[in-house]
Chains A and B, each alone.
Chain A
Amino acid sequence: MAAATEPAAGSAAPRSVTEHIRRLRGWRMALLLVSPYVAIQVFHQAAPGLFPDFLSKLGEFRFLPDWANEALLYLKNEQLAGLFNVKDVTRAVSGWLEYPLDLSEQLLIAGEGPFGLGAVPWVVLVGLFAVAGAALGGWRLATLAGGCSLYLVFFDIWDDSMITLSIVVVVAPLAAFFGWAAGLAAAKAKWFEGLLVPVLNVMQSMPHFSYLLPISVFIGIGDEAGAIATILFAVPPMARLTLLGLQTVPTEVLEAGLTSGCTRWQMLWKVEMPAARPQLLVGVNQVLMQCFGMTVLASFVGTRGLGLPLLNFLQSLRIGKALEYGVAIVLMAIMLDRLSQALGSRRPEHVEASTSWLARHPFWVAGAAVAVVGTALARVTDHAQLLPKNWTVSTAPVWEWLVDWVQLNLKGPLGHFRDFMILEILFPMRDGFGSLPWIGLLALVAAVGWRFGGWKLAAIVSLFVAYLAFSGFWIESMETLYLVVAALIVSVAIGVPIGVFASTSARRYAAVQVVLDTFQVLPSFIYLIPVVMLFRVGPVAALSAIVIYATVPAVRYTMLGLRSVPPDMIEAAEMSGCTRWQLLRKVKFPMAFPEIMLGMNQVLLFGLLLVIISAFIGGIDGLGDEILLARTEQALVGEGLVAGFNVAVIGLTADQLITSYARERKSQLGIN
């Protein structure tokens, strides 16, 4: 596009102009790529009268949200193709879900209902968690699982956590199954893969609310709505990992199956599925964690469990109670994650043929023993069935005191910091983004797209930006983007140095890895608690939440990039007499740079998801606000959906550009 014509003058290129441009590197290339944008900006600023208005702002287009609203109304009220009504279908699905949801809730906590089953006593459940921990990961995991569940019991969060668990145990298997089936179909039929992968890309960059909103339109508010949204939300990672697992079965192993005379069916079940098992189990772990996080977040559409009280406490600023629930969510997330991960990393080992059945299955025996003893105990004393309230404890007062103390003593400095950030940095930045002519941004992404992916990519990303301009939410999109970009800058400024530091020794690397893994599994909702505690409302609170959440990938990818520099290259540099700083700057960093860029991509995607959630704390405008409005106002759901789709489009634009850059740079550097 613009970039192709710009520098033609002056350069007496021996090759074609495009070839010449493609050979530019480093800052020259960057300069060239931003030049069309700068030209437009300069024109825009210098001669505002001459600059056509429609290239800068597109007025109040509202046709997309209106269409979305009408489409929703239509789906809700009319028969589709004269056959069925979408609302009836979703109602039916939610009806089917009701039975398993009721059943699991009765078993885990409620104890009565149409099935007439008693609830399992807490002593048995805690014991079973511990035994499962022991079976999967030895005494450490047993302590972790037992300890976490005891916290839930003694801090009087048992009921809510078991309600959440009762939803998760129903939706996670369903999501895993659908994802598996989709992945399998894609692995077997090329055309379906071509269809599925782009859909997964879009699904995975949509914010959580894009799932919750439409579902609540059709089903209303409650557990079933949350359950359905959660299933949809958790399908993509499983589908992806199933596809990956099946596609990466070594050819030789497949051939070994074929030469053994397997039929197609035997190939699938005896060779391919078992060989893809590691990826499938990673998928199960991800499904479980996505389901847990989404179930908590689904409290926004009235789903019960751990999320709903947390939401209320946050809204009424009862930070102490909110913190206690936050800790409960963290502990439960860690417990579920570690248990399912241990399941995935288990490797079979041979057993002596002489050992007895009992000795070969110690954990089944232990589990049965726990169940029997626990149930008997519950018969003897009610305390073992349900811990009485006066036995439970609460640390909420301590936290409240701490929050008060912080507010009292740090109010000055915190307030100053907040005001400074808002007035001196964030607002000017917001205004800058707000005054961006859309054609300028389009020129920028088109130039970058053309450079790294040719005309095709340039066309795709231009289309994305044009969509944003015409969506009716250009300003809101920019208001969201500015906050994410601000967070990106801070996250990279914090994350990259941490990543560099962590890569300096194997011990540090491992330690930081554990911290990152833990942060990664926490439901995004959690990140709001500390920032609300410190900053109450507004953009600084949102920014801090995003930064905490999005620094994780910044650190992770920096570590990954630095670690993957070939050791002999480092040795060669050391033998050339590099100092440590030179080594970092001249060898390691350039090699790791594509990976760090991929990290930035993740930071951006993470940031986009959290910026929407943090709209909940109030005081910031943008797409998140639109989406949140739609939650309470049925007539605004169309607006909410379009806004959610805008988030996905912003994410996809960045993703397309950054991944094609990283791909090209990696192949230049000869990294796989």
Chain B
Amino acid sequence: MPPDAEGAAVSSDAVISCRGVWKLYGPDPERFLERHDGTPAIEAVKEAGYIPAVVDASLEVMPGEILVLMGLSGSGKSTLVRCLSRLIEPTAGSIHFAGIDLLAASHRELIDLRRHRMGMVFQHFALFPHRTVAENITFPLEVQGVDSATRRARGEEILALVGLEGRGGYYPRELSGGQQQRVGIGRSLAVEPDVWFLDEPFSALDPLIRREMQDEFLRLQAVLHKTIVFITHDFSEAIRLADRIAILYEGQIVQLGRAEDLVTQPATDYVRAFARDVQRDRILTARSVMGGPAEAAPDAATVPADAILRDIAASVLSAPEKLRVVDADGTTVGSLSRDDVIDAIWSTDASEVGDAV
């Protein structure tokens, strides 16, 4: 989509909203974009020797939402997030952060935003090796000039929050990988930011610890209700955590939607390939696989429309006939047969599934 006129499409309640953001690497990217009226074809970009790290990205992040960015290595996830926090200067586009035009913000304003509203967790932890765990965690407070007593108290709170009580005096290299990432998480939470950026925070950890950290993350989010942009290239991680998922391919956002939408209505083969190995019964709801309401007997047993297949599979599979699918106020909205469920879960071609919706 073409970049909108300044702020036109900024819905008032989005925490982050970006429009037509580009990031090209190369000799003179600004001039190159200008020459192509701001919207060169991706082939033209590559032809000219530029690396399209982010291509015309537009998205909004709502308060309290977890938006997951997914894509293969090199698809531009990190670059996009770093544009959103302006660690990297985008080549073109507009970004609004809590209503503030981020790209017009002065150095001072930017520092203020980072000191109070943003937190970031890094893929390789990025801890300061010369500081203790407590000093790492309270570093953002220290640079704000918070006094040491307050810092110490806050440090203790956060150590408890991330499960590192008693480790405050240790140095990062004295901790395990999982513990180090807890420190990274703690540091990003020290200033109680509204928005939390996490760049593949768990991908350097082994599967068991990763699982544990995901649980920990969900527990924290249940308490903290942050607005979150989370990067991963692991689809099952995305599904566990995400409210919405954006799939990136060569810098472009090829699809943005709920996990279920990606599985049932993949926009491209690339998305389809991502969704292939997913455990469908954990994502699909009765609503997304049901048939027409007329097909079920009026007195058949019922299942809620928003139930996940895994939870209702047992009752559907053991029922002799089609079940009624009902929504929250009890109206019949569809029917569900044994075959519907079996097809949905074991079908390899996801597009068939969504036909009924």
Contact = CB atoms under 8 A, between A and B. Distances in A.
Contacts of B144: 261
A263 B143 contact: yes
A260 B126 contact: no
B173 A347 contact: yes
Given A252-B124, A275-B129, A348-B171, A260 B139 contact: yes
Nearest to A266: B143
Given A253-B128, A274-B130, A259 B171 contact: no
Contacts, number: 80
B174 A256 contact: no
A395 B106 CA distance: 73
Contacts of A348: 130, 132, 171
B122 A255 contact: yes
Nearest to A255: B87
Contacts of B132: 348, 350
A350 B174 contact: yes
A348 B140 CA distance: 21
Nearest to A352: B169
A350 B136 CA distance: 14
A411 interface: no
A256 B129 contact: no
Interface in A325-372: 347-353
Interface residues of B, number: 37
A262 interface: yes
- What size tier do the contact residues of chain A reach? 20 to 34
B256 interface: no
Contact of A260 (B129, B143, B197): B143
Contacts of A252: 122-126
Contacts of B322: none
Contacts of B173: 347
A277 to B, nearest CB: 6
A250 interface: yes
Interface string B136-174: 000110111000000000000000000000000111011
Contact of B128 (A255, A275, A350): A275
B266 to A, nearest CB: 33
Given A259-B87, A263-B111, A347 B126 contact: no
Nearest to B112: A261
A274 B120 contact: no
Nearest to B138: A260
B334 interface: no
B169 A353 contact: yes
Contacts of B87: 255, 258-259
A258 B118 CA distance: 11
A271 interface: yes
A306 B171 CA distance: 43
A586 interface: no
A277 B123 CA distance: 23
A263 B173 CA distance: 27
Contacts of B128: 253, 256, 271, 274-275
Contact of B115 (A256, A261, A347, A350): A261
A259 B85 contact: yes
A164 to B, nearest CB: 33
B77 interface: no
Nearest to A349: B171
B52 interface: no
B122 A349 contact: no
Contact of A261 (B130, B143, B171, B197): B143
B76 interface: no
A259 B118 contact: yes
Contacts of B125: 252
Given A262-B143, A349-B174, A255 B82 contact: yes
B324 to A, nearest CB: 52
B30 to A, nearest CB: 19
Interface in A231-275: 250, 252-253, 255-256, 258-263, 266, 270-271, 274-275
B19 interface: no
B143 A256 contact: no
B3 interface: no
Nearest to B123: A252
B171 A350 contact: yes
Nearest to A353: B169
A534 B113 CA distance: 73
Contacts of B124: 250, 252
A347 B170 CA distance: 12
A350 B127 CA distance: 16
A263 to B, nearest CB: 6
Contacts of B188: 259
Contacts of B140: 259-261
21 contacts: A252-B122, A253-B128, A256-B120, A256-B127, A259-B87, A259-B118, A259-B197, A261-B111, A261-B191, A262-B111, A262-B143, A266-B143, A274-B128, A274-B129, A275-B130, A349-B171, A349-B174, A350-B132, A350-B170, A350-B174, A353-B169
Given A252-B125, A256-B187, 10 more contacts: A250-B124, A252-B126, A256-B126, A261-B112, A270-B142, A271-B128, A347-B171, A348-B130, A350-B171, A350-B174
Please give me the 10 A-B residue pairs with the lowest Cβ-Cβ distance, nearest first.
Answer: A261-B115, A252-B126, A260-B140, A256-B126, A259-B120, A261-B114, A350-B169, A274-B130, A350-B170, A252-B122
